[in-house]
């Protein structure tokens, strides 16, 4: 026993240190277990609170009350500032509510975080680009979309947004580049759209007098797809160059393939060429030769098409040849298919102008019995957008060559 006491005296500091260490270890494990339970309970309470907030926010969104939904999401942020999805939801709500600056602030704060994952950082960057886009900050939107592509070049929706922006502002070089990129990462064929873009580029050069460059881009446009816009621009270039015979052949080919574009084609050709007065005079003389060629066409297939007849009527009226318009419509009236309200309307107007009032009254009665009012000359077959203006690319849904025609009654 004495030996043990002597040893204890000699090693008292070591023994105290050892005992103190055991006490610390005991308290560490006991407090850790308690802390885990507390942490779990705390996390559960946060989850319950956030679930209630998200449920309320969802109900407000369904009812269309965005302001109250935003307040609920702000409450969720106060409960737990580490919840990334809450910030994304809040940023999206601010943007849809027109509060672009607040949305930008939230998405910038997410990007600046140190503890955010790479996927969430890219997501925040995309959301920031959309904020700029929706807010009309075009340059910043372009720059931010490009920043996303520096990280991942296969972001289809980002490339598509850049295509839309460049097409909206008429930067056809960049629009072409990004459409090519889109064709590589997407599954949809972009050939026809690329053709339209090249045609727009060629049209701009043509109107600036850069004929050789216009011809090169137009040739590239045909290489991608022989779009209607490409064929019409080719007609304009042929007329400017003085190739009237070739222009006639190209017009006939266009009418055979797409008769519904007859009026559209002549309206486009009448836009003329932004050159000198002498060049304009020559151009319209050649155009008149093509118009005469069209008016003299007596192709049975073409004359069975409503658009062809209406286009001829319009051109006859422009030339004050009402009797020829009357002859054409009389022949149509005697045919089997006489249900067109637009043709009946044109027929009545010509009858009145020619003084054939009794016949006009008879035709008017038939028209009123089955009249269909139209509001605009053109509409988009994809989204229903209406306009009297010619458009190759729909201003509303941004799709190409979706224009459909109807004649005003």
- What whole-number percentage of the chain has pLDDT above 90? 34
pLDDT of residue 386: 85
Position 347 confidence tier, pLDDT thresholds 50, 70, 90: confident
What mean pLDDT do residues 313-336 have? 85
Count how many Cα atoms sit within 13 Å of the Cα of residue 246 in the half-sphere of its side chain: 12
Res 173 pLDDT > 90? yes
Q: How far apart are CA 338 and CA 335, in angstroms?
A: 7
87-91, 294-298, 368-372: least confident range = 368-372
Q: How far apart are CA 405 and CA 381, in angstroms?
A: 10
3-state SS of 50-65 is HHHHHHHHHHHHHCCC
Distances (CA, A) of 307 to 276, 301, 314, 340, 407: 33, 12, 10, 11, 9
pLDDT in tens, 68-98: 555 555 554 443 445 677 778 778 878 888 8
Whether residue 111 contacts residue 124, with contact meaning beta carbons closer than 8 Å, is answered with yes
As a whole number of Å, the end-to-end CA separation of the chain is 123
pLDDT in tens, 155-164: 999 999 999 9
């Amino acid at each position: 026993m004495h030996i043990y006491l002597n040893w204890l005296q000699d090693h008292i500091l070591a023994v105290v240190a050892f005992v103190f260490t055991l006490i610390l270890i005991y308290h560490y494990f006991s407090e850790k277990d308690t802390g885990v339970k507390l942490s779990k309970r705390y996390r559960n309470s946060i989850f319950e609170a956030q679930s209630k907030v998200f449920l309320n926010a969802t109900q407000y969104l369904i009812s269309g009350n965005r302001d109250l939904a935003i307040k609920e999401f702000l409450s969720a942020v106060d409960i737990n500032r580490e919840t990334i999805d809450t910030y994304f939801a809040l940023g999206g709500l601010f943007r849809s509510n027109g509060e672009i600056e607040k949305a930008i602030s939230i998405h910038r704060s997410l990007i600046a975080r140190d503890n955010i994952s790479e996927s969430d950082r890219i997501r925040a960057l995309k959301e920031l680009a959309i904020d700029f886009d929706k807010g009309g900050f075009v340059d910043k939107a372009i720059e931010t979309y490009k920043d996303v592509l520096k990280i991942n070049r296969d972001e289809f929706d980002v490339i598509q947004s850049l295509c839309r922006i460049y097409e909206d502002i008429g930067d056809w070089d960049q629009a072409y580049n990004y459409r090519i990129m889109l064709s590589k990462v997407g599954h949809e064929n972009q050939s026809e759209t690329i053709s339209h873009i090249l045609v727009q580029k060629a049209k701009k050069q043509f109107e600036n007098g850069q004929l050789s460059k216009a011809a090169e881009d137009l040739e590239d446009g045909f290489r991608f797809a022989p779009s209607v816009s490409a064929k019409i621009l080719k007609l304009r270039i042929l007329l400017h160059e003085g190739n009237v015979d070739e222009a006639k052949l190209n017009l006939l080919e266009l009418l055979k393939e797409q008769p519904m574009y007859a009026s559209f084609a002549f309206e486009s050709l009448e836009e003329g060429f932004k050159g000198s007065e002498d060049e304009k005079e020559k151009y319209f003389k050649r155009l008149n030769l093509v118009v005469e060629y069209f008016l003299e066409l007596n192709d049975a297939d073409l004359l069975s098409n409503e658009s062809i007849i209406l286009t001829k009527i319009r051109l006859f009226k422009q030339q004050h040849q009402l009797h020829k318009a009357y002859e054409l419509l009389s022949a149509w009236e005697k045919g089997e298919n006489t249900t067109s309200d637009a043709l009946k309307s044109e027929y009545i107007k010509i009858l009145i102008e020619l003084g054939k009032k009794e016949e006009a009254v008879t035709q008017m009665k038939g028209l009123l019995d089955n009249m269909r009012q139209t509001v605009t000359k053109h509409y988009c077959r994809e989204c229903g957008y209406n306009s009297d203006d010619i458009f190759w690319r729909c201003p509303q849904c941004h799709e190409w060559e979706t224009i459909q025609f109807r004649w005003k009654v």
